[in-house]
Copies of this chain bind each other. A is one copy, B any other.
Amino acid sequence: MDKAMILKQVSEMWAKVPFNNLLGIYITKFDHQETEVRFKWQDKLVGNHVQNILHGGVTATALDFAGGVVAAANIIENIEELDMDKLSLNLSKLGTIDLRTDFLRPGRGEEFITTARIIRSGSKVAVARMEMHNEKGEHIAFGTGTYMVG
C-alpha cells in the first residue's frame, strides 16, 4: 500500500470518530508539511447565544484535531516500511500532551478552516502550531500543541 492510500484510509477513519462526526469536522489536506481541517457553522455549536458565536471548546477541538493530524502525517512520512500493523501501532500512541489556545476574535462565520504545521519534530514528541480562520479569512484563533508520537 502506498502513502496516498494510507492517508486516504486514515482520513476516512478520522471523519467517523464520533465527536468529529458530531462537529462535522473532516480533513481537507493531509500532508506532513501542512494539514487542514474544516467544519461548517451549525447552531448546535454555539457557546454564547446572545452573541451567537462558537463555543470556545469547539475552537479548541478544531485546533487539537488539526495538530493531531499533522503529527500523524509526520508519523506516516517518517515510517520506514509501510507496514499497516506497525503504522496502526504508532498511530495508536498518538496523543495530545498539552494544548494552548489563543482566542483572537469571536467565532463567527459560515465555515471554519484550521491549518497546522509542525514546529518541533522528534521520534517521541512533536510540537505543532495551528491557526483557525473563517471563510472570509478572518483570523479566529491560534493554537500550539505538544503531541506524543512514539
A residues contacting B by CB (< 8 A) are 16-23, 43-51, 54-58, 60-62, 64-65, 68, 92, 95-104, 106, 119-120, 124-125, 127, 129, 139, 142, 144, 146, 148, 150
Contacts and interface: CB of A to CB of B under 8 A. Distances in A.
Contact of A124 (B47, B51, B148): B148
Nearest to A91: B50
Number of copies: 4
Contacts of A99: 56, 60, 100-101, 103
A24 B12 CA distance: 27
Interface of A is mostly: mixed
A65 B48 CA distance: 11
Scoring A22, A56, A146 by chain B CB atoms within 10 A of each residue's CB, the highest score goes to A56
B47 A20 contact: yes
A107 to B, nearest CB: 11
Scoring A18, A139, A144 by chain B CB atoms within 10 A of each residue's CB, the highest score goes to A18
